[in-house]
Structure 1
Amino acid sequence: MRWKTLVAILLALVCAGGVAAQTAARSVKVAAVDFIPAWGSLDANIRRLADAAEEVARQGVGFAVFPETAVSGYLFSDPSQIAPYLDTIPGDTTQALLPVLARTGLYMSVGIAERDAETGLAYNAAVLLGPQGIIGKYRKNGLNPQDQKVFAPGDTGVPVFDTPIGRIALLICYDDTYWQYARLAALRGAQIIAWHSVSDRVMPGTPAAQSKGDHSTVSNVQYMSAQNGVFVIAATRNGVETNPLTGGRLYYNGGSSIWSPQGHKLVQAPVVPPEELPPGLHGVYSAEIATTDADTPRAERLALRRPQLYAPWLALHRSPVDANATKTRRKATLIAAQWPEGPSLMDRTKPPKGALTVLPELSALPSGLPAEEIKSRAEERDGPFERALGALARARKAYVAGSYPERAGERVFHTVALAGPDGAILGRYRATHPAPSGWATPGDEIAVIETPLGRIGLATAEELATPELGALYAVQRADILAAPAGAPSPLKVEIDSALFSVADPPTGRADFFPYATAKQNQLWLVSGGRRAGDATAAGIYGPEPVVSTPTLTAAPGAADVRHQTEIPAVGTWIDQSQLIAGQQAQWFVPLTQRQDSACLRRWRAGGGCPGR
């Protein structure tokens, strides 16, 4: 099926599911708002929030996103502490805000610590409001350890709401640790994801033993736009919050931002050090957008999916134990080879003994060949390329991964092969998500190989824009993903370097999709690649680049980039085991359904999948 035809079908299916795009582009000024509540001061915070909404509307904003728990504060240690500061939806907060919106025409979403009127349970919620009233609400699914002290798991799924300014989904803070929630919003036709956060860091000087929870959720938000083709309005706060009952303290680093459907940053608030600040409005960060600009990129991203490969893996719940995981810790040296554009340098590559070296893609061919020539050079398994790869690995007593065009009858696959120190081919993988307009036939299964270095998965770097692929490797507990790359990607990490604690932040040089895949799935990712000028696709991407594992790109004149680490990765605020255990897999069934399935159509129209 031709690429443009596939996109057209996907758009038609979205419309048929009750999520039709707006018929005409409409420009709207949107804003991420830095609003600071006073801890445990519900009534005063509601008044401040109403005043802030007035001011935002005066600035000509049509849709504003406010932070998480904006009328209560966030740092509570047990249910009894937060109970006096919960509000219902509808409740006091909405009653104070709706007259402002009716008068000004403003739409807004805001995080509220919600008490369910029927059960009394507390939820970390966000509500979407407009001039006509309450549009809808969302209850947070991705609960971090702090959330789990006071909030019940969300029970709303991921709804998407039709409004005159576009189709809007709501997510909250730690939800962005899980790629699935933003993907569910895109599958339901969202044009905007409104993300509400209090992105926190531990206080400077905190002893290492007490700072394992240090992280920054706002450093994740680029992936929501880049992987899903939607606008993201990410609101967080700054300032220091102190719980007067426990003495506990967090500081919020700021960095509210707005992102385009192509994954580019449109505007960002400053990232700030700890500072005691008065409650109230502290910044409005705005951009003019046309929400319909998301429709084509979203359809293009979703058209890359192959749901038949995802069932049942992505809907499995694996907790508290997982027999697939690597159990013994070991050292591993990782190497990403860098070659300039032009001929293959495979015969000059000298992998160190015992290390894993990943070569650039189509490792035995010159770069930049047209599709027909690549296909004409395809060869069968156990052919010249695999023999050369095995000979290189055997001569150096190393692990070496590379790729080649594999011919199987009339079909040509982009195949990644891993050779071991004895020269044997340990595993092969046929790219499952190749570019639709490219030369390769899609493969039908992933590959995870057990080695003394750890569990090694195989992929190609071009596929990593589809987050489902990385998730398949995470759920099968790969420690390392070897992903040969070609030319440098035009989309780089654009996250503010001030949000990283490691010495070598990746901002501006690292390819974005390998970076996101490593972080989202808590594994090491190694991409050998080509160099073009000062840009490179050769990199090593760690599972926790915000706190402990640097993102390393090859220097312009270097033959490779290297890193020695421990496998499985040592966790900080999260590791792969916690990631898998924390998933709310009951919401993920739509991710496994084909585009034309009755289950997915019903879910897109607002029903359940499976039915309810």
Structure 2
Amino acid sequence: MVFTVDLSRTSDAMSRVGARCLQRLAAGSVGLVVASLMGMALMVPAKAQDGRKPVKVAAVDFIPAWGDREGNIRRLTQAVERVAAQGVQYAVFPETAISGYDFSDPAQLAPYVDTIPGLATAALLPVLKRTGLIMSVGIAEKDASTGIFYNTAVLLGPDGIIGKYRKNGLNGQDVQLFGPGDTDVGVFDTSIGRIALIICYDDTYWQYDRLAALRGAQIIGWHSVSDRVMPGTPPAKARMNHSTVASVQHMSALNGVWVVGATRSGIERNPITGSQLYYNGGSSIWSPLGHKLVQAAVVPPETLPPGLNGFISTTIIPAEADAIRKKRLAARRPSLYNPLLALRRAPVDSTATVGQRSVQLAAVQWSGPASLLGSSQPQANELMVLPELSGLPTGLGAAGIRGRAETRGGGFETLLADRAKAGNGYLVGSYPEREGSKVFHTVALAGPRGTILGRYRATHLSDSEREWASVGDAPLVVSTPLGRIGLATIGDLAVPELVGLYQTLRADLLAAPGGEPSLLKVEIDPRLYAVSDPPTGRADLHPYLAAKLGQFWVISGGRRAGTFTAAGIFGPEPVVFTPTLTAAAGADAVRYRTEVPAPGTWINQQQLIDGQRNDLSRPLVLEAQNSCFQTWKQAGHGIVSCP
């Protein structure tokens, strides 16, 4: 793989980021990898390619001047010339690049919107035709027919307008200016491969990038203006200090696609209201395995001149996403998701926990190969989660695990219930459960009275689990005085639909016994966090993502191996407020007391569910062979009605 970092205004910090990424690539710690689709161009036919050739891609830091549409179009055209001159073949530019973002209402924004086709496309297309560059850029778009404003990303190439996407995941600022997107999530055939477009706050939801993967995307272009709280902000308001760019890793890791994520730097000031937004940079490019390949510097607030402020780039082979994406999607079980993921609505939802309660959580850590179930005991009213296969030693192999399988009510469940009763708390562990000729990986919850309160059979198996276990048939949430407790395995958490089910079922806590530490860690730049101890390089990625995307606490007991552990407690707002805690060396557990349900700062579970576009979720619950799914996939873009 060729690796390059190109910067029009190179800084020492950005150079250091590139050097570290190059060292990781040379050491082989960043893997490359792999699906299929039939996409269609929106406005002009594109010569589709299979994406097998190397492509130089770039995430561009472009700074618009507030409310200077014509000037920004001119500067954008100049930036495109400079990026293309460096051999870039696909460039992603930030959100709302020709208007700026900080507007108070549609009337204030109205003089600076554009149509598609419009002024910006007319200026850009001749440059693309001459240079051969493909680009996508965020535009505050006015629909020529209806006059409705949309937060839009448009994909352009040498032959014209390829397609566009109107943002679905609208945040508190967006809803004051833009209508909800009506394009669905499209995937477009281009001369370099299949590209999908996502915009900023869309990445708060798992559904939109998943829809792109289901339609066969090889590359996601992500367009953002991810703002942060300004220095000196009062602590009460600083709790809103989220950074959208800190969520980008999940799009690549969960879906097996390349992600080119562009955001901007600088300070944007609205001269009418006096408000200002601080953008901290941090554009990044991710491999289909969820590894960061290159990242721009995360910078402090600074007034910068409008125009090109730099870009990062690397060379990828789009088709190397195909096999990985196919494997990620093969783990899905759409029959489990229908109808909950398509039809469930909030806020008219009586399922959710009412009233706050203080809850003690504990994730147990075992360092040796033996089971320590007999000496594990929760504290009073504590939820304690053990490592997976809690009654067995490690290293048994598939045959050994099957040979130790037992029926419900057997020795494992009896001991688990006894230990819960002894501590007057709640204890979660897992075991190989035999029913007839089948063996399941079953997670059991025991309560303070010494009874089993619930059993869940893993529904999404990891590669190692498939060697000995059959799949279960349903998620499970148990109502307790601590809150609503969902049960899962770590293997389940690699599938975002399972997270979506537990979110929809309004779980407050997800108990997920784990095994050995994962090789896939959180790789998000720690400077993008407001919490004091970000989990970068330390925490396993999948439970971290499950907590954030589901807006519930994830408690995972696990084993320790060297300097890493799978035992952790993962909060629903790990960027802003709730910590990510992993067990220290030599500790028998990591503990934390919190409030349930999580009250939230910039978002909580209720707001997350309210903001979903369930009308776009139908493909998520359809089997691949379903004729409606096939029609939707083959259309490539747009909302498809089925007979």
Aligned equivalents of 1:22, 1:100: Cα separation in 2: 22
Q: What residue is the counterpart of 1:568 in the other structure? A: 597
Q: Return the offset for 1:384.
A: 0.3
1:507 paired with 2:558, answer: no
Q: Deviations over 1:432-482 (max 9, x none)?
A: 001254311000001100011100000001221100001100001000000
Code of the aligned partner of 1:286: S
Q: Residues 20-59 of structure 1: matches in 2 within 5 Å?
A: 22-23=49-50, 25-59=52-86
SS of 2:188's partner is strand
1:557 paired with 2:586, answer: yes
Q: Return the offset for 1:210.
A: 3.2
* Number of residue-to-residue matches in the alignment: 601
- Structure 2 alignment gaps of length 5 or more: 1-33, 42-46
Q: Deviations over 1:223-244 (max 9, x none)?
A: 0000000000000001111111
Give the RMSD, CA atoms, in angstroms.
1.6
Code of the aligned partner of 2:518: S
Q: Residues 231-380 of structure 1: matches in 2 within 5 Å?
A: 231-380=258-407
1:73 paired with 2:104, answer: no
Question: Is the Cα contact below 8 Å between 1:22 and 1:292 reproduced in 2?
Answer: no
Aligned equivalents of 1:392, 1:153: Cα separation in 2: 51
Percent of pairs with identical residues: 64
Q: Residues 535-550 of structure 1: matches in 2 within 5 Å?
A: 535-550=564-579
Code of the aligned partner of 2:529: F
Q: Residues 142-221 of structure 1: matches in 2 within 5 Å?
A: 142-221=169-248
Pick closer, same or farther for the CA change 1:122–1:201 going to 2, 3 Å: same
Choose the corresponding residue for 1:433, options 442, 460, 464.
460
Q: Deviations over 1:246-303 (max 9, x none)?
A: 1111101110000000000000001111111111111110010000000000000000
Code of the aligned partner of 1:455: R
Q: What residue is the counterpart of 1:454 in the other structure? A: 483
Code of the aligned partner of 1:135: I
TM norm structure 2: 0.92
Q: Return the offset for 1:209.
A: 3.4
Aligned equivalents of 1:361, 1:540: Cα separation in 2: 15
Q: What residue is the counterpart of 1:517 in the other structure? A: 546
SS of 2:371's partner is coil
Aligned equivalents of 2:483, 2:346: Cα separation in 1: 21
Aligned equivalents of 1:131, 1:604: Cα separation in 2: 25
Higher relative contact order, structure no. (Cα contacts within 8 Å, ≥ 6 residues apart): 2
Q: Which runs of 4 or more aligned residues in structure 1 lie more than 4 Å from their structure 2 counterparts after TM superposition?
A: 14-24, 607-610
Question: Is the Cα contact below 8 Å between 2:51 and 2:193 reproduced in 1?
Answer: no
Aligned equivalents of 1:79, 1:293: Cα separation in 2: 42
Pick closer, same or farther for the CA change 1:340–1:109 going to 2, 3 Å: same
Aligned equivalents of 2:565, 2:124: Cα separation in 1: 50
Q: Return the offset for 1:609.
A: 4.9
Q: Return the offset for 1:174.
A: 0.3
Aligned equivalents of 2:231, 2:641: Cα separation in 1: 47
Q: Return the offset for 1:15.
A: 5.2
Q: Return the offset for 1:61.
A: 0.4
Question: Is the Cα contact below 8 Å between 1:21 and 1:292 reproduced in 2?
Answer: no
User: Which segment drifts farther, 202-211 or 223-232?
Assistant: 202-211
Q: What residue is the counterpart of 1:611 in the other structure? A: 642
Question: Is the Cα contact below 8 Å between 1:358 and 1:526 reproduced in 2?
Answer: yes
Q: What residue is the counterpart of 1:583 in the other structure? A: 612
- Structure 1 alignment gaps of length 5 or more: 1-9
SS of 2:485's partner is strand
Q: What residue is the counterpart of 1:229 in the other structure? A: 256
Aligned equivalents of 2:74, 2:364: Cα separation in 1: 58
SS of 1:186's partner is helix
Question: Is the Cα contact below 8 Å between 2:583 and 2:589 reproduced in 1?
Answer: yes
TM norm structure 1: 0.96
Q: Return the offset for 1:245.
A: 1.1
Question: Is the Cα contact below 8 Å between 1:367 and 1:486 reproduced in 2?
Answer: no
Q: What residue is the counterpart of 2:502 in the other structure? A: 473
User: Which segment drifts farther, 237-246 or 22-31?
Assistant: 22-31
SS of 2:78's partner is helix
Q: What residue is the counterpart of 1:3 in the other structure? A: none
Aligned equivalents of 1:539, 1:213: Cα separation in 2: 25
Code of the aligned partner of 1:599: C
Code of the aligned partner of 1:444: D
1:595 paired with 2:624, answer: yes
Q: What residue is the counterpart of 1:5 in the other structure? A: none
